[in-house]
Structure 1
Amino acid sequence: MVRLPQLRLDELLEELQARIDAARGTRDRVHHLLEAVLSVGRGLQLEQVLRRIVEAAAALVDARYGALGVIGPDGRTLSQFLTVGVSEAEIEAIGPYPSGHGILGELIHRPEPLRLSRISAHPASYGFPPGHPPMDTFVGVPIRVRDQVFGNLYLAEKRDGADFGDEDEAVLATLAVAAGVAIDNARLYEESTRRERWLAAGAEVTTRLMSGGRPEEAVGLIAERAREITGAELAVVAVPPPGGEGLVIEVAVPAAQLRGTALPEDGPACRVLAGGGPVRAEGPGGPAVAVPLTSGDAVRAVLQLERARGGPAFREEELGPLVAFAGQVAVAMELAERRADAEQLAVLEDRDRIARDLHDLAIQRLFATGMTLQSAERFIDHGEAGERVRRAVDDLDETIKIIRSTIFGLRSRETASRQGLRTRLVRTVGEAATLLGFAPGLRMEGLLDTQVPREAADDVLAVLGEALANVARHAHASSVDVAVVNDGRHLELTVTDDGVGMPADGDRRSGLRNLAERAARHGGRLSLDSPGTVGTRLGWRIPLAM
């Protein structure tokens, strides 16, 4: 009669202890859930937040394996896949990350919690790839960010061998809500940080360009900063080749050996060139995006970025800052070019003014002084005084020669990139008419503008100017004929006058040394003779590279 109540009391105590243990377990689990929610909310780097979410989910439901799949821009496949519980060796053996088919795709198409006691029994399952660890029990829940499905949590193989229960599903659903908030915050932070980095990069490139930096350095900086900000593995700036079609790589970071390589016609960069707008695609190495660097309505270059294989695809929200950066640097490049053109124009105008002043003021006065001294020489009876006057005249001639060479150097740099050799020859002959008192004859034959190198063109003009100046000073000629002929193998300049001929005075011949040196520099020669009883013929001949 006494033992029955004692047994009943023992049963009640056991039941009470079980309830206390269950309550303690529930309390501990709630505590762990709160810790997990706080943990995933601490990070601001999106990659770090995603990693914490999947680790916390696996710990909360005691799962051996966990994964978080990020849904790509197309809404049908996975663009990113983070795992827990799978070793690097197993990942290597499995191969590429899943793209969102089978059971994983079931949650993408139907974003609702899913629990399975045996994965292989579900109609959507079609097995695991070789090397994949065996999995039976499964639970998955979607993660929503502002009512949009961001991705899914996948958990498999409860460590105690049991099935995932209602409580596991409820805990994961609660964590998914907190994960959505954490992901949204991380995205906003990354977007703000990325925008600041784009602005800083644009300002850096603009400063480099406007401070006179070399364009190739600025292009390299554009590629480097775009690669850093987007996390791309490869950044390429490609330009249309002169007179050709398609695109050729001008800068590739970090693969400098790709410079000069033509991009495929069906690639994203060439599609940008054809359409003018940004293009996202799956490149040979991984996700790729290409944006134009536009000047007016023309695409002057294309910036293409590629992430590593298996990396996240370029999202729509990443395109806006990238396109804005490309537009900013394109405007900066155009402004830098115009500023350089304006500075060059100012330099050229200043050179032209200096050359004009030297020609119109200095040379004319020196020439007049020399003529005066020559006229006075015949009235000087004293031999030493006459010799001094002659040396003074020679010094003046040499000074005029130096000044004329300086004038030619100034003007040849001014016009070499804008005018052909024929135009410059006509101008040089025309300018000599002032000194000669008449217009020389000019004959030109052969390809002078396209076949004569710039250095040879500069020298033939210098020789012509000096030869005409010598005729004006010494020959007392009434006519001069100039011929410039390119026969395809040689360039020959001939200056023929009907003057008094070359004097026997060796000092006067020394003034031709500079012309001979110019010919020798090109492997040519200078000749001087009389075509008849009067006059002088100067020949200057150099070979042309074939």
Structure 2
Amino acid sequence: MPVRLEDVLGIGDDLALRTTLQHLVDSAAELVGARYGALGVVEPERGGLAELFTTGTRGGTGGSGGTGGTGGTDPERAGRLAEGSTGLPGLLLTDPRPLRVDDAAADPRSAGTPPGPPPVRSFLGVPVQLDEEVLGHLYLTGKRRGPFTEQDQNLLRILASQAAIAIGNARLYGTARQRERWITGAAAVTTALLTGVNAMDALMTVAESARALADAFAGVVLQPTDEGGMEIVAASTSDDPGDIVGTTIAPGSPVLVQLLGGEPVFIEDSSTDPRMTTHVRSRFGPSMMLPLQSGGKLIGTLALPRRRGGKPYRAVDRLLATQFASQAALALVLADSQHDRERLAVYEDRDRIARDLHDLVVQRLFATEMMLESTRRRVTDPSLDGLLGRAVDELDSTIQEVRTTIFALQQPPADGPTGVRASVLRETGGAAVLLGLRPSVRFSGAVDTLVSPRVARELLAALRGALAAAHRRGGATAIEVEVDATARAANGTGRVRLVVTDDGTREDGGPGGTTVTWESPR
């Protein structure tokens, strides 16, 4: 059945695009009567084919099936993409004009055209083009009855136009959704930073949110060192980032020079780029290093590396991440200023309380002590004298305790402790950017005291996995997280249990939600 234009115009997600393109190439081969057909999609910005949808067989037997970039092993897929980039098909990409050949074997341009058996004779191809941009090509080979005609070519051009509209709409939709996610994420980060988190939690919030939005393996924040280099002070990864935190970039590094100049650094492959000098670079591939600056001052760097061999960042990825870094830097400065104001208000309040205690309470207690001491000197009853003596001693001890409290009030308050509870809350808060909702969290027992650091790391990894799975399944409107440090095994030993429940789509596609349970000895 031919593809309807309204279906092409309504394409949004990637799955719908793949289905439509496969349907288009199937329809083209069926309507024209060709044994083999292929529709190639050019990879934006980098050139070359990103996907190749095929139907029929080169030999003229068998059914249809599309690679869509997903079928077969990587070498098989690479071979099929190469076939669509050379010979007559490749010519459609470099010289985007309709091409009709009655005997491909006799045409010198056919080198690389998909071979037989039997050998390919007739070839008909048209570019998939939107305005002046070549998005791919659509071609057929081996017409069953006679050569390809002008009517076949016109029909193929119509189908190629539908393919161009479908690809263009899908890319516009994808870009719009991506922009929406980054804008929403940046707003959520700004809100989170202005709610009063400490400096390290603020950096982790930026790192975690950026990692999720950029689909990166790691989100890393670096800050300048006294020696003129940069040090990784916060890192968010899907596993333990312990060996990443503390890594430094030496002063004078080409990357550092560019960052200190306020310019972002985009790297195709961190493992081979000579500008990268850290010991962790070997595990990373494409990367973005974005300056966090405000008022012309560099306050840090946000790095977003993907795994080695990962897909490269596109121009729109780089633009949106750079805008996010600019807003995150401003939010960090505002949060730091707000934190300073709040600390100053606390200092002023504590100082006022200390003055009141010293000027009012201590003076009155001291006056009362002096009155009792004076009364004691005039008492002749030994029992009463002992009672007054104990009262004077108690007042003296109380005065000393109040003075100790006054001294403590005049010291700067330390940042609140961070433990399992704070880490879980930070993790769910960061995931809210990607999920579009904030999970509810409930704790049972003294989790910060009962759970060991090693188990805490495993618990956080399990939590990340459960939240990522909920996001992947989609459809969730509520997510509940429970951490129970009072659980018991059958033999009575203490355990910690994590339960993550969501009301989204199950793995099997049905409704009813999913519950993920993780448990470990404390």
TM-score w.r.t. length of structure 1: 0.58
Match of 1:78 in 2: 48
> After the TM superposition, which of the residue ranges 269-278 and 54-63 deviates more from structure 2?
269-278
**Candidates 94, 113, 120, aligned match of 2:76:** 94
* Pairing 1:136-535 to 2, within 5 Å after superposition: 136=120, 138-149=123-134, 151-155=135-139, 157-158=141-142, 160=144, 165-213=149-197, 219=203, 222-223=206-207, 225-227=209-211, 229-230=213-214, 232-240=215-223, 242-243=225-226, 245-248=229-232, 250-257=234-241, 259-260=244-245, 262=247, 273-283=259-269, 287-297=286-296, 298-304=298-304, 306=306, 309=309, 311=311, 313-413=312-412
- Cα distance change of structure 1 residues 268 and 326 upon mapping to structure 2, 3 Å threshold: farther
- Cα distance change of structure 1 residues 246 and 70 upon mapping to structure 2, 3 Å threshold: farther
Structure 1 residue ranges without an equivalent (≥5)? 1-31, 418-546
How far the C-alpha of 1:126 sits from its partner, in A, is 5.8
How far the C-alpha of 1:398 sits from its partner, in A, is 0.7
How far the C-alpha of 1:334 sits from its partner, in A, is 1.9
How far the C-alpha of 1:294 sits from its partner, in A, is 2.6
- Which one-letter code corresponds to 2:394 in the other structure? D
- Cα distance change of structure 1 residues 337 and 299 upon mapping to structure 2, 3 Å threshold: closer
Match of 1:56 in 2: 24
How far the C-alpha of 1:241 sits from its partner, in A, is 5.8
Mapped partners of 2:204, 2:49: distance in 1 = 29
**Normalized per residue, which structure has more helix?**
1
Paired residue secondary structure (2:177)? helix
Kept in 2, the 8 Å contact 1:272–1:291? The answer is no
How far the C-alpha of 1:185 sits from its partner, in A, is 3.1
Match of 2:8 in 1: 40
Percent identity of the aligned residues? 31
- Which one-letter code corresponds to 1:204 in the other structure? A
Paired residue secondary structure (1:73)? coil
Mapped partners of 1:271, 1:57: distance in 2 = 51
Mapped partners of 2:257, 2:157: distance in 1 = 43
- Which one-letter code corresponds to 1:41 in the other structure? L
Mapped partners of 1:277, 1:189: distance in 2 = 29
Kept in 1, the 8 Å contact 2:292–2:329? The answer is yes
Which is greater in Rg?
1
> After the TM superposition, which of the residue ranges 268-277 and 335-344 deviates more from structure 2?
268-277
Paired residue secondary structure (1:348)? helix
How far the C-alpha of 1:403 sits from its partner, in A, is 0.7
- Cα distance change of structure 1 residues 114 and 240 upon mapping to structure 2, 3 Å threshold: farther
How far the C-alpha of 1:270 sits from its partner, in A, is 5.6
- Which one-letter code corresponds to 1:302 in the other structure? L
- Cα distance change of structure 1 residues 210 and 315 upon mapping to structure 2, 3 Å threshold: same
Kept in 2, the 8 Å contact 1:241–1:248? The answer is no
Kept in 1, the 8 Å contact 2:128–2:136? The answer is yes
CA deviations on 1:252-290 (whole Å, 9 max, x unpaired) are 343443642748889998686245334444235665444
Structure 2 residue ranges without an equivalent (≥5)? 55-64, 271-283, 416-522
Kept in 2, the 8 Å contact 1:278–1:292? The answer is yes
Kept in 2, the 8 Å contact 1:106–1:124? The answer is no
Mapped partners of 2:119, 2:199: distance in 1 = 57
How far the C-alpha of 1:351 sits from its partner, in A, is 1.0
How far the C-alpha of 1:346 sits from its partner, in A, is 0.8
Q: How many residues align?
A: 377
Paired residue secondary structure (1:240)? strand
How far the C-alpha of 1:324 sits from its partner, in A, is 2.5
Paired residue secondary structure (2:234)? strand
